[in-house]
Amino acid sequence: APGAQEFIPPSADTIDELRAAAGDCRGCELYRDATQTVFGRGDEHARVVFVGEQPGDIEDQKGLPFVGPAGRLLRKAVDDAALDPAQIYLTNAVKHFRFELRGNRRIHQTPDRVHVTACRPWLVAEFARLRPEIVVVLGATAAKALLGPSFRVTKQRGELLPWPAAAQRPEDFERVPVDRTGAVADAPAARLLATIHPSAVLRADNQDVAYEGLVADLKVAAEALR
């Protein structure tokens, strides 16, 4: 698979233009079985970008990120952390739904590294246009996409990390936070904060504790924006 880079028009200055181009992406095989590309959404001047893993079943059908149960929980957590939803842009590390068919049911499958790598140019292009102040990384897939395979959300969650040198072992990570304009490398004075994915709260044995942990991490981001 060629990766997403060749599907990104260098002339795409805005998120809307990127989104339109992403609709035709064939950068990896995931476009074949999914319904549609699910690109990021939110204000072009958002100060915070949330990065999840990939669209789920409902997101795939609606074409919008974070509109399923995990998205609902995330919105509540954002609210409880006193983050302004108008300042948030939501996206995913991988923009097509990966699943396995079991009967009629489409069961979520974690994207492989090859999908994350293929799709990363879209994420980088989003950062380059948005120039956020804080990137909140939700869960292991997104964390590995941006911080390398050795990053452990459980160990470093809730910490504001410098961008992009937060990887513990940069040498085992093909670092891509640069698009063809070089924009991301020198762009955001962004900092990065990792936390769990809201779907992990829904799966947790003790949902209340997991939820409080998510909110506590998001409060660190809220505090940093003041």
Q: Say if residues 39 and 91 touch (Cβ distance below 8 Å).
A: yes
Of residues 96 and 106, the one with the C-beta less far from ligand SF4: 96
Q: Say if residues 108 and 98 touch (Cβ distance below 8 Å).
A: yes
Of residues 26 and 41, the one with the C-beta less far from ligand SF4: 26
Residue 96 lies near ligand SF4 (rule: CB under 6 A): yes
**Stretch near ligand SF4 under the rule CB under 6 A, chosen from 27-35, 55-63, 150-158, 195-203:** 27-35
Report the residue from 15, 49, 83, 94 that binds ligand SF4 according to the rule CB under 6 A: 94
Report the residue from 8, 21, 28, 201 that binds ligand SF4 according to the rule CB under 6 A: 28
Q: Do the strands 134-138 and 191-195 form a parallel or antiparallel pair, or are they unpaired?
A: parallel
Report how many residues bind ligand SF4 under the rule CB under 6 A: 16
> Is the C-alpha dihedral spanning 94, 96, 102, 105 positive or negative?
positive
Backbone angles phi, psi at 138, to 5 degrees: -105, 105
Q: Where are the alpha helices (DSSP H) in 36-190?
A: 57-62, 69-80, 113-130, 139-147, 153-156, 183-186
Of residues 36 and 87, the one with the C-beta less far from ligand SF4: 36
Report the residue from 119, 134, 145, 222 that binds ligand SF4 according to the rule CB under 6 A: 119
Residues 6+ apart with CB under 8 A from 21: 7, 8, 9, 12
Cα separation, 156 vs 180, whole angstroms: 30
Residue 19 lies near ligand SF4 (rule: CB under 6 A): no
Amino acid sitting at position 55 = P
**Stretch near ligand SF4 under the rule CB under 6 A, chosen from 62-70, 92-100, 148-156, 218-226:** 92-100
Report the residue from 83, 90, 118, 221 that binds ligand SF4 according to the rule CB under 6 A: 118
Backbone angles phi, psi at 14, to 5 degrees: -115, 165
Query: Least separation, in Å, of the C-beta of 25 and ligand SF4?
Result: 3
Residue 26 lies near ligand SF4 (rule: CB under 6 A): yes
Note the residues at the interface with ligand SF4 (CB under 6 A).
4, 22, 25-28, 30-31, 37, 94-96, 115, 118-119, 122
